[in-house]
Amino acid sequence: MSSKSTSAEYFSGSDTLEHKALRILRENEWGDYTLPTKGLYPYQWNWDSMFVALGFAEFDVDRAWTEVESLFEGQWANGMAAHIVFRRDDPSYFPGPSVWKSNHSVPTSGCSQPPVAATIVRDLYEKDPTEGRERLIEIFPKLMSWHRWFHTMRVVSGGAAIAVTHPWESGRDNSPDWDEALANVDPTGVTPYERKDLGHVDPTMRPTDAQYDRYLKLVEFGRDCGWDHTHITREGPFAVADPGITFILMRADRDLRYLAEVLQKHAAVREIDGWLTQARAAARYLWSPELGAYAARDLRTGEFASGVSSAAFLSYYAGIASSRRDAQLQRTLDRILEAAPYGIPSFDPAHEKFDPKRYWRGPSWAIINFLVARGLAEFGFAGKAARIRQSTRAMIEKSGFYEYFDPFTGEGYGGSHFTWTAAIWLAWASPETDAKD
Ligand code: GLC
């Protein structure tokens, strides 16, 4: 799949998984961006679009760049690239633009999402440095200001790990990682609302009403303070250091530094080096010897989350090596992979909070599998990376392009015809990608 002309072949009626994946990308395309799936998610989502760009890059690199560029229409003056870019109001989704009331001309949500963008931009640039250079020049300052936003507005003083101030910012909405901190959010007085997600997906696969009340309460807090992000991080009802965002940003900083060198932006290289000096301290802060893993940590109480989520294993992707911690982390990973044939489960199957169906509380997600395996492969854990890739392939072969999968049975859950699952298939999980190894 290397040239644009092959795209036509995918619509020629064949029903291989390659063709189906490509059709999902094309059918969910909405001009310059792509919907995660129709109905459930009718707008542009931040990290979804970046994975989608990787899928497009398999057959149309120009369209891949466009996907990334369109996301930055939702970048605020303070640098934040928003987690949802609304552009319009769609009655099938709640909470929409009239609830968030963002500080931006193109209506967006008021928080961000895991910054995979710089890493993907590097991937796109490396596919064709000559063609990509102009586009890189355009997007580079936008990536810089977004990373700066994280490093200034999502760190509490003296800290190094990156905080999320809303579970939605983590991209792992109802992970048990947030349970304790969320329990401290008082939902009293939340404006009455109607959930729209339950009209699309079985409630047993979605967050609970008690969680939703708190999600909305946090939106109202941000909106009512005019989206003052310094205030939200320092004083808001919820601030949790997230291994997911911390490690994804660390990796993205390294890739952004590489791109700064390509463009000979020396001041930017120095600024990024400053961010990277925090990396080891951030990893240390997130390490829980009791869990034998990196874990989310409530910044208001200092308490660790009660169990191990799949984000723990993103330390390799981040480029963090620690021989003492890694020995333990590998044992934890082995135990979890042994327990679930369609791994990586998003939460430890041995933990009482594990639920194989409920969204980020157990199911296996193709995008996380891809990121973790990429890091493991880079650190020489080729066997484990291959195993995760095979299990991702197997769950898609078994069930199709679902949003997430049962880690024991491989059954698909949540939205079907899901764009990022199709994109990961095209870029990494399909047998056709073996040729790249
Ligand atoms: C859910 C996921 C989030 C994703 C979004 C759109 O909110 O938790 O990670 O970006 O759906 O697919």
Q: Which residue has the tokens 């079985």?
A: 202
User: Would you state the pLDDT for residue 12?
Assistant: 55
User: Would you state the pLDDT for residue 7?
Assistant: 52
User: Would you state the pLDDT for residue 11?
Assistant: 52
Cβ–ligand 1 contact at 197 (below 6 Å): no
Q: Which residue has the tokens 């298939």?
A: 425
Q: What is the DSSP string of 204-217?
A: GGS--HHHHHHHHH
Tell me which of 37, 45, 195, 401 to substitute to probe ligand 1's pocket, judged by most ligand atoms within 8 Å of the beta carbon: 45
CB-based contacts of 284, cutoff 8 Å, min separation 6: none
Q: What CA–CA distances, in Å, run from 54 to 18, 148, 149, 262, 370?
A: 14, 24, 25, 21, 12
CATH class, domain 7-430, is mainly alpha
State phi, psi for 208 to the nearest 5 degrees.
-85, 170
Distance CA 176, CA 251 (A): 24
Q: Where are the alpha helices (DSSP H) in 91-184?
A: 97-100, 117-127, 129-153, 167-170, 179-183
Distance CA 316, CA 290 (A): 20
Give nearest CA residue, ligand 1 atom 9.
171
Instruction: Report which of 91, 244, 238 is spatially closest to residue 161, judged by C-alpha positions.
Output: 244
* Token pair in block for residue 81: 């690239």
Cβ–ligand 1 contact at 348 (below 6 Å): no
Question: Are the CB atoms for 86 and 108 separated by under 8 Å?
Answer: yes
- Domain locations in the chain as residue ranges: 7-430
* Token pair in block for residue 107: 């209506």
Region of 268 (left: φ > 0; alpha: ψ -120 to 50; beta: rest) is: alpha
User: Would you state the pLDDT for residue 387?
Assistant: 97
Q: Tell me the pTM.
A: 0.96
Mean pLDDT by 10 residues, the chain (437 residues): 46 79 96 94 97 97 98 97 96 94 94 98 97 97 98 91 98 97 95 88 87 96 97 97 98 98 98 96 97 97 97 98 95 98 97 96 98 97 97 98 98 95 97 82
Cβ–ligand 1 contact at 43 (below 6 Å): no
- Give percent helix, percent strand, percent coil of the chain, each to the nearest 5: 55, 5, 40
User: Would you state the pLDDT for residue 216?
Assistant: 97
